[in-house]
Chain A
Amino acid sequence: MEIKHLTCIECPMGCALEAGVEDGRAVYVKGNSCPRGKMYAENEVVCPMRVITSSVRAADGRMISVKTSAPVKKSEMLEVMKKINAVHPEGRVRLGDVLAAGIADGADLVATDDSPL
């Protein structure tokens, strides 16, 4: 069994976690102060996922902040960034608008701000 040390990032506590990994699966998790820490470690040793936040240039030249609606594979972040940077929304954008559906597995690209008036 391999022992992995992680820092839980689900909340600012940043608990130091220890996970025992066998066949790519967590068999135990220690150091978590709540169930989210256990889940974090279990996912993190298999396939770490991250929400990407960025900003894209609208057709009128102004920047709009965006995020992926769900976490994407950490290993694919730079790939997804390329797709994000090719998105140039037209017209007025509102917070929550989907700017590109299915930008990654199970995730859309959504606006996180209204376009300035």
Chain B
Amino acid sequence: MKTENAIVIIGGGPAGLAAAVQAYDSGARDILILEREPRLGGILNQCIHNGFGLTRFKESLTGPEYARRFERAVRERNIRAMTDTTVLSLTRDRQVTAVNAAEGAFTVRAGAVILAMGCRERSRGALNVPGTRPAGIYSAGTAQKYVNLKGYLPGKEVVILGSGDIGLIMARRMTLEGAKVRAVCEIMPYSSGLKRNIVQCLDDFGIPLYLNHTITKIEGEKRVTGVVVSEVDGNKRPIPGTEMHFDCDTVLFSVGLIPENELTKSAGIPLCAGTRGAAVYQNRETEAPGIFACGNVLQVHDLVDFVSEEAEIAGRAAAEFVSGGAGERDAADCVNGKNVSYVLPQKIDKNLRGDVKLFFRVTGTFRNCTVLAESGGKILAGRKRRIAVPGEMETLLLPAEKLKEIEGELVVRLEEESWK
């Protein structure tokens, strides 16, 4: 086993694969992907529905089809990938310790590291739903794995809490397999899922979506027998007298994803409160030199197309880092202003070349609004939006020539009236 690698990529999902391909195409040859699962492709392997790749390939691919394209690109370049291999620790000076059955535990010194560990689902435990703890309660992602990869339907009558995309997708999937989905409840006044999924997964099958509602009680001894759903007030407190009862044998939770950043933390890399991922420069380099991050470990993406795009930025930057090291930085903070909940990158290095695509999320639903990036009283980029919603990531292009005009920090905000 070789103990030095130019670029080590942790995670072989779409982010890790695209980063590997781009690092190779930018000149790096010594690249190693470490993946915990037996197969490359990450969570896409279980996302068998279509709608992936619309932006990138201008066709509607299923998750496995999208994953196989990138896996093939990795294989064509003979990039080394070790599956069934879990990374246990990472240090700030880029020592990666991993374990697998063939090698036991081993440590690789990396010239550059790309973090691509993806995210995991928030669990019910984090939610405090009162009631019993019977069988029949799953996260939507676990149910997705059962149905799609194991061919086993976890229940016949279902209530879903949370209208995230995975929950919506599972509402349709279980309906097609013969289950009855009674309701989807969302505590917020809007769905965090894509419009397309609300139409095709709920409306198509007449499944009701209750906004401003949550599950206030789960009933059943051994197995779930029903739930109580209540409307909530502006402070998300259940309103007495609004209770509805649904019989069901299964409850699915689709209440959000959390970037999987244990390794990042163990390397002492600071995380950003808004994204729960590492704070990065526009080339996706973290505060630790030579450690880059991309994909869902950095910010929870709704579209895998953006994951691939972000991974390519990180892959290219990692290749540049190992071939030439880092240049002098001239950094500015990039922060969220009015009506914006976070911005990525969190830091802009004015010495780096190229345009900067700012990714951010807005705090509510806004129509006929303008998103803009401002610094020192000057507007450096702006764009009108007919609609902006929290469930869909917003982007804004900051042209390369504007970087030098940043004075102090760069603020990204949303103005409600049309600007200019």
Q: Which of B113-121, B195-203, B245-253 contacts A (4 or more CB under 8 A)?
A: B195-203
Q: What 0/1 readout, one digit per residue, does chain A (61-90) give for beta carbons within 8 Å of chain B?
A: 001011100000010011001000000000
Does the CB pair A113–B198 fall under 8 Å? Answer: no
Does the CB pair A112–B48 fall under 8 Å? Answer: yes
Residues of A within 8 A of B62 (CB): 53, 65, 67, 112-113
Residues of B within 8 A of A78 (CB): 176
Q: Which residue of B lies closest to A68 (CB)?
A: B50
What is the CA–CA distance of A101 and B172 in the complex, to the nearest angstrom? Answer: 24
What is the CA–CA distance of A52 and B149 in the complex, to the nearest angstrom? Answer: 17
Residue A116 lies at the interface, judged by CB distance under 8 Å to chain B: yes
Residue B401 lies at the interface, judged by CB distance under 8 Å to chain A: no
Residues of A within 8 A of B198 (CB): 7
Given A11-B54, A12-B54, A112-B65, A55:B149 Cβ within 8 A: yes
Residue B29 lies at the interface, judged by CB distance under 8 Å to chain A: no
Residue B339 lies at the interface, judged by CB distance under 8 Å to chain A: no
Size category, B interface: 20 to 34
What is the CA–CA distance of A63 and B194 in the complex, to the nearest angstrom? Answer: 27
Among A14, A48, A50, A66: residue with most chain B CB under 10 A: A14
Residues of A within 8 A of B177 (CB): 54, 81
Within 8 A of B (CB), among A28-51: 33, 48, 50-51
Residues of A within 8 A of B150 (CB): 63
Contacts from A to B (Cβ < 8 Å): 6-7, 9, 11-12, 14, 33, 48, 50-55, 57, 63, 65-67, 74, 77-78, 81, 95, 112-114, 116
Output the least CB separation between A4 and chain B (Å).
Answer: 13
Residues of B within 8 A of A9 (CB): 195-196, 199-200
> Given A7, A33, A65, which contacts B48 in the complex, CB threshold below 8 Å?
A65
Does the CB pair A14–B196 fall under 8 Å? Answer: yes
Residues of A within 8 A of B38 (CB): 116
Given A12-B196, A54-B176, A63-B149, A113:B65 Cβ within 8 A: yes
Residues of B within 8 A of A77 (CB): 176
What is the CA–CA distance of A10 and B357 in the complex, to the nearest angstrom? Answer: 24
Among A12, A52, A55: residue with most chain B CB under 10 A: A12
Residues of A within 8 A of B180 (CB): none
Does the CB pair B194–A14 fall under 8 Å? Answer: yes
Given A11-B54, A112-B64, A50:B149 Cβ within 8 A: no
Does the CB pair B199–A95 fall under 8 Å? Answer: no
Residues of A within 8 A of B45 (CB): 113
Does the CB pair A53–B194 fall under 8 Å? Answer: no
Residues of A within 8 A of B147 (CB): 55
What is the CA–CA distance of A116 and B64 in the complex, to the nearest angstrom? Answer: 12
